[in-house]
Structure 1
Amino acid sequence: MKRYKNLLTLALLSLILSVKAQMPVLKVQQENAEQSVMMKKLDIDVQITGNIATTVMTMTFYNNANKILEGELSFPMPEGVTVSKYALDINGKMRAAVPVEKAKATAVFESIERRRVDPGLLEKVEGNNFRTRIYPLPAKGSRTVIIGYEQELAFVNDKALSYHLPLAYQQAVEDFSLKATVYESVLKPQMQEQPDGSFDFKTNGNVYVAEIHKKDFLPKRGLTINLPKRSDLPEIQLQKASAGYYFLINVFPKSPSKPRIWSNQIGLIWDASLSGMQHDRQKEMQLLDAIVKQKRNLTIQLGLLNNGFRNAGTFRIKNGDWTELKNKLNQVVYDGGTNFSSIDDKSLFADEYLFFTDGLSTFGKNTIALTKPVHCINSSLKADYSTLKYISLKSGGQFVNLNNLSAKDAFKQLSEQQLQFLGIKNGSDLRQTYPAMRVNVNGNFSLAGILNELNTEFILQFGYGNEVVTEQKLRLNATEHALASIDVSRIWAQKKIAEMDIQYEEHKQDISHLSKQFGIVTRNTSLIVLENLDDYLRYDIVPPAELRGAYEAALKVRRNSLLEQKTNLMNAAVAMTKELKTWWDTDFNYKETSKVKEEYPVPERATEDIVSIPRMAETARRETENRQAVRRPAPAAERLQDAKQGQALHEIVVVGYAAQAKRELTGSAVTLNNALAGRVAGAVVRERGNTEARPQPKIVVQKFKSDKEYIKSLTGTPDSAYAAYLKLRPDYISTPMFYFDVANWFYEQKDSVRALTILSNIADLDLENADLYKTLAYKLKQTKNYKEEIFVTEKVLQWRPMDAQSYRDYALALADDGQYQKALDNLYSVLTNDYNAQISDRDHGIEEIIISEINNLIARHGKELNTRQIDKRLIQSLPVDVRVVLNWNKNDTDIDLWLTDPTGEKGYYGNPKTKIGGRISDDFISGYGPEQFMIKKAIKGKYKIEVNYYGDQQINISGPTTVTAEIYTRYATGKQQREVIVLPMSASNKTGNLVGEFYF
């Protein structure tokens, strides 16, 4: 019997709503719009030693609802900062997380979550952004989360490092605590900004402490601490290791600046995507103003970047007057996703470029085709710093982070040759020092590494280009430098990872190894908390220290019995291929029972009227072979099958029509009459000379029309409708279906350029949201934007490599684009990958869909394919008259495919095999599907396709579940045709959502 899910209405609750503030945002699942979750307690501890600040936030959330909820806490991090501490309360005690490969951590979390126990997961998403998933938030109960990170502080002026913590909360916190401690500071720290007017440092030797504890507190301001430094006193931190010492050095080299000459031809690349609205445009305009005022006379070519790239004009500036360009920038409409790969110097040629962007290329690859220096300038808190640094370094430009610099300091950085760290002299006792590449100094320089001997002298060299202009001698000695109170090894690991991350693909294995050793979250490593020892054993994850002893003891005895088994789908695929072939070979001779058959008198026959007609059968066999040859050269197995079929036809005895048969046997020309033209043992016998093909079926899809109020505002010309859309957008800025609906309207008006731009906004709404990207991929497939479909599905595959559907979606996108070999390889990998037991059980039956698609590729493009790696047991000719395949964008979702044939019989999960030969694949009651209907020989009439949606359980912003249905006729033949329909689902419609119809 069909299993039903509890239906939940999803909403997003943002406890903290500051776009500009660098602070956590909690999203939860709830039944109504009332805020049912609050931050009950917040304890922040800040410790600063030298140029390193450690921040630990302990947050307790209270769920006032009468049901269990799930939460997602997300927050951006500054440049160079990554989370290194994460803990979750388990059975009343805080349990520390351990590092695991990101894909494995996601799969384990989702597997355990379904067992209704207490996992916790913290992961890094696109750019330098982090999120943690918390389950459960108990009804009328609370959960506590600890998040900690180390931060290397930067100079804000020539004499002081700066620490900043935003506190722009929208709700008062019932129990609020804040403590800041500065260790070993020669000069007193300065409180530039503090939360309530009373927060100030008290001195205890060279240690400075400030703290407050308040009830029902809503901070008025954030916390900003300036730490003055003496340029003549280097700061040195040491930590003993198993071999040698880790060290961290902070120095403050000085050198006169050298001016840099700006080019006369500058290309200005302006990020005009939806995410561009979150940039600090005021700071960016101030920086541009300073550049123009210094240069005074120059030519600037403006390029606007969103999902595409276009030249927006040439501006010849005289005497520093750039009013025209300024007005143009102030009128920019921010709309669409972001595609770096659309940038090229043919559209915008210049001698150097200013690229104002956050580094997040959401709708295309993050590489640009420019050979001249590119200065990347970021003012957004959500940014991909590694991409920005890579583009700048590769092109010979500079990276400027306006989050850490004023416009004045940023201008100084760009307009002067920056003093750079060039290397180490006499450093034979040092190894693994980072940074290892040349970097700008900007007032202070920090170096981390491993020291072999603790009595070592070496020299740091600084200069311009290859010219050394200043040196600083340093001595590391245990008697002069006490061991550090901070974890220097983790600072070293973070600096090494940050440098390797600039070229991530080249170093991802080393990054993974290093991040797991030091417990650092990276783009391929997450932190996970599990509830009990058995889970750590089952998933082969080394637990935190508190469980380590029990884990190692149990490992010897119980590991083999508890370790989760992984398997591929190959054996099931081979069995399914046999089942499909048996079904395909079955002759479903459907006869309508509703009509009364007319009885005819039986004539008497002479003996000679009963003859065998082997030649007629041979003619039919040859016609069948000729039709198959049009598709592809038949492999040996198929030729053998045809031979067997032909032999069977030779043995057929036909009663009557003796004269016609005799003429055929003597070689006379003959036209078989209609009485004999038909199916004989599964082969079609046509009238000789009749070359008319079966009529092409007609597919009619259900056009989706949104009934939302905002669609009614889209009237008149496309220009006026676009203006109306922009006016409406602020009210729906984070609603995915708004962009989907409006894009659909513009597609209907044949304005595909605007439609694609509006649709691509979905990519900018949330970071690493596979549900959103799947919806986007479906619509890109439907609208034949295949290059973009490949990018989007490849992203989902990177984020969710544990899902068979990720490989399938990517493979089908490749096939859409004509990349058939890569498509075949990725489809086949669905069957050869290893899956954990939960995912394998969830996706049971997907092999039926994959087999059909593999054989479709081989049937239609076999001459272009290398099939040697494909298990030959899977290769079968399986052409069908009808194939409908359905998949959807959300996990934990129950959707059913219904297909009603011309006889009125409905094929669905409860009736998977219909009388006319229709076949429904396995029912997916969770996961992403897909489900499939096929019929080998369709009878005449109308076929109706419907989708029944039972519901889903989700916590993100992806909106309602979206399905895509691909409707094929004459599938796996030379006459294949396809229609794609994309529909958002409504759980309220229990009678089925109409997808489309087709007619044979």
Structure 2
Amino acid sequence: MATTTTRAIFPMIFGRRYADKLTDGASTPLKLVRLQIEQKVNGDFPFIHQIATTMTFKNTHNIILEGAFEFTLPEKATICGYGLDVDGVIVDGVVVEKQAARIIFEKEVRKRIDPGFVELVTGNVFRTRVYPIEPQKTRTVRVIYQDQSIADNNTNGFLYQIPIQFQTQLESLDVVLTCFGQAITKPNFLIDSNQSINNYPQFIDNGNGQYTAEWHLTNVEPSVNSEQTLSYILSNCLKPVISAIEKDSNVGAYFAVSCALPIPNQQRIDQLDILSKKICILWDASLSRSNSKENRILELNTLKKFFDIWLKRYNQIEIILIIFRNDMDEKILFQLQTNNWNKFLEIFQDLPYDGATNLSQLSSINLMQPINYYFLFSDCISTINNNSFIENLYSNFKAPIWIFNGNYLHEPYDIDFIRYLTQYNEYGGGYLNREKLELNSNDLINIIETIQIKYMKIHSSSSVKQIYPSNSITIPLNLDRFLLVGQIPIPLPNSIQFEIEFSMNNQISRLSISLDMSFNERNSFGLIRRLWAQQKLNELNAFKDKYKSDILSLGLEYSLVSQFTSLLVLETLQQHLQYHVCPAKSRTLLYNQYMQYQTIENNKKPNNISELIQKWNQTCQWYDHVITDIDRHRAYLPKVPQPSSFPSPPSLFGFTTIGHTSAFGGVPTIPTAAFGSAPTATPIPFGTTSMTNQTTTQYFPPSSTTTPVFGGIAPTSSSNSSSFTGFSFSTPSTQANTAINVSNESSLSKTEETSTIVLNEHNPQSSYITRISSSHNRTSAYLIYLNERILNRQSPSFYFDVASYFFSPAAFSSILDKFNQQQENIQIADKKSIEYGLRILTNILELELEAPQLYRTVAYKLMELKQWNLALSVFQKIYSLRSDEPQSLRDLAIVLIELGQYDQALQYFKQILNEIWDARFTTIQTIVLLDLNRLLVLMNKNVPEIDSRLIRHLPVDIRIVIQWDTADTLIKLSIKEPTGQICDGYSSYRTDIGGYITNLGFQSDQPIEYLLRKAVNGIYSISLTYMTNAQHTLTGVTTVLVYIYKYFGSINEEKQIQTVRLTNLNQTIDIGHIEFGDSNLEKLKDELQKSKDECHRLQNQLINSKQSIQSNMQHINITCDGCSMSPIVGDRYKCIFCPNVDFCQNCQSSTNHQHDLKHPLICIRDSSLYASSIYLQNISELIHLNIRCASCFVSPIVGVRYQCMTCKINLCEKCEFLGLHDILHERLKIIRPQ
């Protein structure tokens, strides 16, 4: 049965939206209207075939769109061709480095020009992107890939499977199959191989050994109950050895050999004479595996097939179960016997499939006891990765690894990782896909218990090279044939002989191969050459990070889509010349024109450090400007517009050209006034302490109190000496004086003033948060979340909002405290809430593979939570996807500073200053200079390779930096100063007291920064406004990361980080404010605190005195549920929510009982006074059968029931008590069940 996958594998659309409409989903479906498939098989070497899929998409919207289509390919397929319709003609693409292809595509989209490209996303998932698709019009793309056939011993032939995947009705479906060769027989279709194609014709003999079969169908519905795959067999062509050779003018020749393998009939040596079985089950419980309960049942049923056979041999099976997702659960030990399988299944019955997939955790598994088999249940697509884990994965796995995947064959899986685990592991193993899992018990047990054949090497006296596999590998399970490819150098011999060596149970066998070089190339069209490249690529992909340059070179040379190469289509000669992309040779005229223009000198604009220095000088000039008392007085007066001394803002989204800058590579020769002159012998004193390596995983939420990040040492108030020491780079004497004064100025402000950062809590006002917050503890809240997830599965905002709720320290505070309005702030969220929150947050990574916007959404929240190590892993992934964006490097550097890895952070900052960036990123280098100079203070280091004119530390009282996760988007940062002036980069970017916005309005480049050197007393309010979004996507919800620094760059620097989601255009959110005050106000606060402390002391004294003379009242027939006192003597405490639960005065605040401490308790002095009250009765007898609470979903309702007369819904006592329903609605209070 077809399933709905969690990860987006379907057409998606991107486009210019209406001005007031934003959507939240990771992607939106695009309609596929026509599908054409052409397949070719060379019967002389039928082991491989080529398939061309031509897809036509229609834009059913009334706006111009960018289209994207994600699709999966078979396990052994490789894309080797891509085309896009230009003026009604399919134009061939050319291979380009993957990042370069994306960058070129996005640049051309911003120009509203027609590009298109196809890329490998991950695993077997590919994506093609096309722009533009006009309203109600269509665009056509063609993808060509090469696949391997399957040996079929029953017919002594080869089986060909052609996937025909579509999810909506097609206007037309055209299929053309062609088989040709010298001695092939007529192909035969498998009966009922595809339910969506009925009455298909037979193959027709066209003569000359060529057969064709064609379909031309209209209004075709997708198959519902089966895989959409067309299968046929080319019989009587299966020989023990099949070989093919293809000449090449540069290499000499490529050859491929497909040989039959001996059928092993012995058990593995390590499985003989075993007295018991020890199995380690690694169960992936991430969100991507929540797609179908049926698939998980299939996997468990297959597991039972193995265990049923083994339990006939052994008394029991020892199972170590490890459940993992974004993190790993504690291992579960289970002794499986013949009568407790159902008990074992209970572990999986209510198991939540939630969170990202983190396969890097497998490398940390180290079991002391010997294991017979590792069973991994996963699609092996990891959305959280540690890049170094794969190199050390085998160190602790000393047993065969078998991978189970019950998903359908067309769904995503990472075949490279699967090959790495199963073929390069000396202990063997294999991959059991859905097709294998449906085999019977005997066939399955034979697969994993029968010996596996290993390819060792070849023995050859002939001149052959570049043989693949190049190393010993375990041949995959149930594979009847082995494929070997290689090259034969020039001069070509008449024949080649060599032997292939195999190993079975440590016994060596050799197979002799002879290749005749007198071959016929009549039907050769590059398949063997490309097959060789594909086999080499498969081997390199197992260690893709290690062999990145080799994979890139291979893809570029052989026109393959790989992890690091894509196929790109450009329309005009100007585009090809601009990006130095040679057109495909099939475009003869354009290719010849391009080659002619190659003699023209490259007019690339030279690197120019002067532009960066000029921008940095502007910042320094602002910093050196003296703000007088007159300026501060003028700030409070009505404003008269003043002419700006700064440049006018460029056009929207940076469409004008701005020069690129660099900070390294040249020695400055001309000093700059006021900074950059001759060196002095006196170092600038700055920075007495260094930051410690903070890797805590606790979450410290925003509050009125913050922690200094420069060590927390109290600053000196001396005006003659600075608080900082250690800078050794040189500056002129005038600059040294300025710097010292600046440091003292900041220090004085800190001794005479106090400041507070107050961040607002942002409630998304969504119905699902209301329902989740009605729960009484985190476990029930999590269950309600899982129920709400059904309707919000593809919404990033849903996971972001719910995760934020779990991270909120007050989310699960005492209900009794809320009732009494005496709740105290909790500064650290509990461990379980953080665990749930991280699990829910990382679900965003599962929604769409390799989507930088979603990765940034998660990473920004992790920074707010101070989850630095996890944030580092996510930012490293972002950089691999968006290395062309300097913000990716800055994010990495900021996180590394928090982790104490200063040297690496410094290298990233230098890279930002040194490299040439797109004109969209005009302001980030000056912002990075503030970060870099702060880092140099922390490191107490002089870096001579940085131009000395860029080294000057600028400590300020306030620094606010914002950045966001969507491109081509305008976010306005507004700071309302105590004077009433607003600094926002639009109406004003400078204020009278010195406030300064570094980014001018109408620029989409980020980050945006607000600086204030010396703050005046008062409140600085911070707000964000979602101005515009010019993306070509229908998704527009934006996550904004806000840094708020107090006394930036000073010894007692403090910082707050917050993330917010902007969901609507023109939406404004108040982030919070910063308070600055004088010492008198601080004294008043101290006196107030002392008064509060004295009040608390007197209250405690009164309570203690009352306890000493407590009542001796007895509550007859009432037993304490804490200490079992009966009757209760003294005050009686009865729970409002729980039926028949009472405590004595000693147990009511104890934690030694199972009762929920957050439930409100009623204090009863004398039970006899309230004997007739319903609340003093045993309300557990009041059971309202078949009645369900509309808020917390409890059923049946026990106790008093409330029925809303307006909405006709029912509420339990707890939900009515909490006031979760509209208080204006009339209720009917029902005590006795009806």
- Same fold, TM-score > 0.5, yes or no: yes
Residue of structure 1 aligned with 2:935, choices 817, 833, 857: 857
Cα 1:928/1:774, change in 2 over 3 Å: farther
Counterpart amino acid of 1:757? R
When structure 1 is superposed on structure 2, of 353-362 and 339-348 the one drifting more is 339-348
Q: Deviations over 1:211-236 (max 9, x none)?
A: 21012222445313345566544322
C-alpha distance in structure 1 between counterparts of 2:158 and 2:308, whole Å: 29
Cα 1:591/1:428, change in 2 over 3 Å: same
TM norm structure 2: 0.70
Q: Deviations over 1:605-652 (max 9, x none)?
A: xxxxxxxxxxxxxxx999788887533324353583466569xx9xxx
Match of 2:448? Answer: 414
Query: 1:966, CA displacement in angstroms?
Result: 0.5
Residue of structure 2 aligned with 1:789, choices 851, 866, 871: 871
Query: 1:268, CA displacement in angstroms?
Result: 0.7
Match of 1:576? Answer: 615
C-alpha contact 1:336 1:759 (8 A) present in aligned 2: yes
- Give yes or no for the alignment of 1:916 onto 2:954: no
Query: 1:186, CA displacement in angstroms?
Result: 4.7
- Give yes or no for the alignment of 1:76 onto 2:89: no
C-alpha distance in structure 2 between counterparts of 1:22 and 1:987, whole Å: 24
1:611-690 equivalences in 2 (<5 Å): 629-637=722-730, 640-641=733-734, 644=737
Q: Deviations over 1:428-479 (max 9, x none)?
A: 2322122223241611112222234342222333331552235243333325
Match of 2:460? Answer: 426
Cα 1:754/1:934, change in 2 over 3 Å: same
- Give yes or no for the alignment of 1:48 onto 2:41: yes
Residue of structure 1 aligned with 2:1023, choices 946, 950, 957: 946
C-alpha distance in structure 1 between counterparts of 2:600 and 2:872, whole Å: 40
Q: Deviations over 1:310-369 (max 9, x none)?
A: 134111123486333233234321000122233323578652422222222212326347
Counterpart amino acid of 1:313? I
C-alpha distance in structure 1 between counterparts of 2:873 and 2:720, whole Å: 37
C-alpha contact 1:353 1:372 (8 A) present in aligned 2: no
Match of 2:286? Answer: 273
Query: 1:952, CA displacement in angstroms?
Result: 1.9
C-alpha distance in structure 2 between counterparts of 1:294 and 1:28, whole Å: 53
Match of 1:290? Answer: 305
Query: 1:536, CA displacement in angstroms?
Result: 0.4
Counterpart amino acid of 1:776? V
Query: 1:249, CA displacement in angstroms?
Result: 2.1
C-alpha contact 1:772 1:958 (8 A) present in aligned 2: no
Match of 2:177? Answer: 180
C-alpha contact 1:735 1:957 (8 A) present in aligned 2: no
Cα 1:347/1:874, change in 2 over 3 Å: farther
Query: 1:150, CA displacement in angstroms?
Result: 0.5
C-alpha distance in structure 1 between counterparts of 2:1011 and 2:608, whole Å: 21
1:211-610 equivalences in 2 (<5 Å): 211-220=214-223, 221-228=228-235, 232-242=239-249, 243-260=251-268, 261-262=270-271, 264-278=277-291, 280-296=295-311, 297-319=316-338, 322-343=341-362, 344-346=364-366, 351=371, 352-365=373-386, 367=389, 368=393, 370-373=396-399, 375-379=401-405, 380=407, 381-392=411-422, 393-394=424-425, 396-403=427-434, 405-408=436-439, 411-426=445-460, 428-437=462-471, 438-440=473-475, 442-452=479-489, 453-464=493-504, 466-469=506-509, 471-478=511-518, 484-485=524-525, 487-547=527-587, 550-551=590-591, 553=593, 557=597, 560=600, 563=602, 565=604, 570-589=609-628, 590-593=631-634
Match of 1:25? Answer: 11
Cα 1:699/1:311, change in 2 over 3 Å: same
C-alpha contact 1:98 1:544 (8 A) present in aligned 2: yes
Counterpart amino acid of 2:215? I
Residue of structure 1 aligned with 2:952, choices 861, 876, 884: 876
When structure 1 is superposed on structure 2, of 736-745 and 343-352 the one drifting more is 343-352
C-alpha distance in structure 2 between counterparts of 1:921 and 1:547, whole Å: 47
Partner-residue secondary structure (3-state), 1:353: strand
Partner-residue secondary structure (3-state), 1:116: coil
C-alpha distance in structure 2 between counterparts of 1:581 and 1:271, whole Å: 54
Counterpart amino acid of 2:202? F
When structure 1 is superposed on structure 2, of 476-485 and 335-344 the one drifting more is 476-485
Partner-residue secondary structure (3-state), 1:504: coil
C-alpha distance in structure 2 between counterparts of 1:465 and 1:569, whole Å: 66
Q: How much identity, in percent, do the aligned residues show?
A: 26
Q: Deviations over 1:268-315 (max 9, x none)?
A: 110011112247424422432233233323211100010111134111
Match of 2:101? Answer: 105
Partner-residue secondary structure (3-state), 2:330: strand
Partner-residue secondary structure (3-state), 2:396: coil
- Give yes or no for the alignment of 1:762 onto 2:844: yes
Q: Deviations over 1:506-552 (max 9, x none)?
A: 22111111111111001111111011011101111111114455555
Higher strand share: 1
- Give yes or no for the alignment of 1:191 onto 2:190: yes
C-alpha distance in structure 2 between counterparts of 1:791 and 1:21, whole Å: 21
Counterpart amino acid of 1:345? I
C-alpha distance in structure 2 between counterparts of 1:633 and 1:21, whole Å: 52
Cα 1:510/1:333, change in 2 over 3 Å: same
Query: 1:904, CA displacement in angstroms?
Result: 0.7
Query: 1:978, CA displacement in angstroms?
Result: 0.8
C-alpha contact 1:890 1:927 (8 A) present in aligned 2: no
Query: 1:154, CA displacement in angstroms?
Result: 3.6
Counterpart amino acid of 2:615? M
Cα 1:55/1:24, change in 2 over 3 Å: farther
Any stretches of 5+ residues in structure 1 without a counterpart?
1-15, 597-619, 650-679
Residue of structure 2 aligned with 1:133, choices 129, 132, 139: 129
Counterpart amino acid of 1:101? E
Counterpart amino acid of 2:769? I
C-alpha distance in structure 2 between counterparts of 1:199 and 1:22, whole Å: 32
When structure 1 is superposed on structure 2, of 403-412 and 441-450 the one drifting more is 403-412
Cα 1:348/1:985, change in 2 over 3 Å: farther
Aligned length: 919
C-alpha contact 2:994 2:1012 (8 A) present in aligned 1: yes
Query: 1:708, CA displacement in angstroms?
Result: 1.6
C-alpha contact 2:746 2:957 (8 A) present in aligned 1: no
C-alpha contact 1:315 1:324 (8 A) present in aligned 2: no
Counterpart amino acid of 1:402? N
Query: 1:160, CA displacement in angstroms?
Result: 5.9
C-alpha contact 1:286 1:407 (8 A) present in aligned 2: no
Partner-residue secondary structure (3-state), 2:436: coil
When the two chains are superposed, the root-mean-square deviation of aligned CA atoms in Å is: 3.3
Query: 1:700, CA displacement in angstroms?
Result: 0.8
Counterpart amino acid of 2:336? I
C-alpha contact 1:736 1:958 (8 A) present in aligned 2: no
Cα 1:630/1:541, change in 2 over 3 Å: same
Query: 1:399, CA displacement in angstroms?
Result: 3.2
C-alpha distance in structure 1 between counterparts of 2:603 and 2:435, whole Å: 47
Cα 1:37/1:25, change in 2 over 3 Å: closer
Cα 1:258/1:35, change in 2 over 3 Å: closer
Query: 1:405, CA displacement in angstroms?
Result: 3.3
When structure 1 is superposed on structure 2, of 331-340 and 480-489 the one drifting more is 480-489
When structure 1 is superposed on structure 2, of 887-896 and 174-183 the one drifting more is 174-183
C-alpha contact 1:638 1:877 (8 A) present in aligned 2: no
Residue of structure 2 aligned with 1:700, choices 750, 758, 761: 758
C-alpha contact 1:780 1:786 (8 A) present in aligned 2: yes
Match of 1:13? Answer: none
Q: Deviations over 1:694-724 (max 9, x none)?
A: 3331001121211122111102211111111
Cα 1:377/1:702, change in 2 over 3 Å: same
